[in-house]
Amino acid sequence: MRIALFVCLALTSAHGKKPGYCKNEKSCQSQAKGYTCVSVQTSRTGATDVKQCLPNQDATEICAGVRPGVCPSLSTWPTAYKSISCVCAFIYPTAKCKKPGTPNKAGYVNCLYVKDLNGEEVGVIYGCVDYSVYDKRLLFKERSSADKLAQMLDYPSVISDNCINPSAPDVVCSARGTCVPSGQSSMDYRCVCTVGYKGRFCQKIDSNKCINAGQCAAGTCNLRSQQCECNEGTTGNQCAYCDPSSSKACGGHGTCLNNVTSQDALGGAEDGSSSGFGSAGGDVGRGLVSVGQEDETGGVCKCESGFTGAQCDRKVEKKSVISDDSMAGSDDESSGAAFVSVSTVFTFLLLLTPLIMV
């Protein structure tokens, strides 16, 4: 296992700008045992080729095939990717759906079935999809079959009611987890937190443990030790606090305050509600709660207008995030590169991995 983690660490270094990035399924399997390549479908401006190696041997399922589960964590990726909000949602497979009770066959996958706009049953699988809080929609290509199905199932209301932290309303699950159905085919959703976080909206820092190369807020996940290692300007568990003595604190987009306690500044309520410090354009670690003050020398960031997040590293969405390429609309689901990547991974997993089989 140590060898596998070491190799995956090398993979992370090779793609330093996108920690944990994978070109395809083979690049994870050949370089890191127990990791699999998972894609996120998005039409967000500036976000392309969103794929990441995730551990496939943890107690938490990965969002794939007929099983709901977790998606990539992108908090250490470039700015254009930091606001990606992962939801495990129904997508159309590019492969054909295998009929229940029939033998496995190359090019076919196990599917779930839902009724479409015409009242006809259609085969779907689970996949990771970006959600725009500003646009109130899953970021499929506009007017595609998947987009129409998502609107019919009222995903925006489901996500808003169950996975949006009222103190960090610009992202899903405080950007620290995945919005996941409570069971197969269920439309009852909840936040499933990335390792190291807890709480209804994943707003609480639980430990410094990490298993995802992209999860440590402003640091690096050492996959050998499974601990976050902080960059200059940050400190504490998950590198969620700022260093008041550093000129690089808060990413150059805020002020590091060390005269307020983490529980006060970050909001101590279980439901993620603010304690009164946060305000639009002047957030103080809005909605991001720790369990106690693990690093007493660390502070919290007060962000300048236009930025938010524990390290002021996310831009506040003030207009649609949808790229122009998505506006044309198409019923050809295979036209999206990210979608092809997802379905390719799922085809491999569903045919070769017993844990994903029904």
Task: Dump pLDDT digits (tens) for 164-202.
Answer: 999 889 999 999 999 999 999 999 999 999 999 999 999
pLDDT (tens digit, 9 = 90+) per residue, 72-127?
999 999 989 999 999 999 999 988 998 888 888 888 999 999 998 888 999 999 99
Alpha-carbon span 172 to 133, nearest angstrom: 8
- The pLDDT of residue 288: 52
Under a CB-based contact definition with an 8 Å cutoff, are residues 290 and 237 in contact?
A: yes
| Ramachandran class of 233: left when φ > 0, alpha when ψ lies in -120 to 50, beta otherwise | left
Structure tokens at 38: 């998972």
Q: How many CA atoms lie within 13 A of 268 on its CB side?
A: 8
Instruction: State the pTM of this model.
Output: 0.80
